[in-house]
Structure 1
Amino acid sequence: MDSIAELRARLRAFAREREWGRFHTPKNLAMALGGETGELLAELQWLDGEAVAEGLAHGPLRDRVADEAADVLLYLVQFAEAAGIDLVAAAHAKIDRNESRYPADLARGSAAKHTELG
């Protein structure tokens, strides 16, 4: 199972079996997504770059971060479905806009905002 469509179908069945659909409004799912994003951030909050790299290479930090990242993805997929957003199409459209806003010849190696590029 490796596509967004398959994941969406599995999530839909999971919620349906538990009769959770009435709770899965865009607002509630966005709030849950924000909470899970916070939990992901909390796993890395006070670690320096080296500790993060080492922890993500193996061990319990990697497992905890993987769980939190999965929660973020699951809520994002559910939010998009509830809001009627095609995530893959939206992501491609965003990349298209970013390609225009950040031309490679101007943005290469720069962390500048698109409004600051020469």
Structure 2
Amino acid sequence: MADLEDLTARMREFTEAREWGRFHDVKSLTLALTGEVGEVAELVQWLPADAVLEGDLQARFGDELADVLLYLVRLADVAGVNLVAAGLAKLQRNEDRFPISVYRSIAPEHP
């Protein structure tokens, strides 16, 4: 499984084999994704900002990030969003919006 298309197909097959598609609407997947992001945050919320993730915490962090990725991939599939195309387009908009000459080492303020 080398790319996002393979992962998307594998998630679709996983879901279909278990007949879970009826549970995978955009709202439900968005809420599940949000919960998984919360679990990532929970692992690091009381750690110092410069803490290094090691051992069991590193493995748990990886598992939670994988859950986020899998729900995101499934959500995009159900919603008909090409994540690679959307990500590249968004990155280009951000590059245009935040030119290096203006924003190097400066955190942008949000209006």
TM range (shorter): over 0.9
CA distance in 1, matches of 2:55, 2:27: 35
Distance 1:28 1:15, change over 3 A: same
**Superposed displacement of residue 7, structure 1:** 0.3
CA distance in 2, matches of 1:74, 1:7: 8
2:96 is the alignment partner of 1:96: no
**Superposed displacement of residue 114, structure 1:** 6.7
CA distance in 1, matches of 2:108, 2:24: 38
* TM-score, length of structure 2 as denominator length: 0.95
**Superposed displacement of residue 39, structure 1:** 0.3
Equivalent residue, structure 1, for 2:74: 78
Identical residues among aligned pairs (%) = 50
1:46-85 equivalence runs, <5 A: 46-51=46-51, 53=52, 56=53, 58-85=54-81
Aligned residues: 111
Contact 1:40–1:69 (CA under 8 A) maintained in structure 2? yes
Q: Write 1 or 2 for the structure with the bigger share of helix.
A: 1
CA distance in 2, matches of 1:113, 1:95: 18
Runs of 4 or more, structure 1, over 2 Å off, are 112-115
CA distance in 1, matches of 2:3, 2:103: 31
Cα RMSD (Å) of the superposition?
A: 1.2
The gaps in structure 1 that reach 5 residues or longer are: none
- SS of the residue 1:49 aligns to: coil
Amino acid at match of 2:62: A
**Superposed displacement of residue 2, structure 1:** 1.9
The gaps in structure 2 that reach 5 residues or longer are: none
Q: Say which is worse superposed, 77-86 or 105-114, in terms of deviation.
A: 105-114
1:37-52 equivalence runs, <5 A: 37-51=37-51
CA distance in 2, matches of 1:104, 1:113: 15
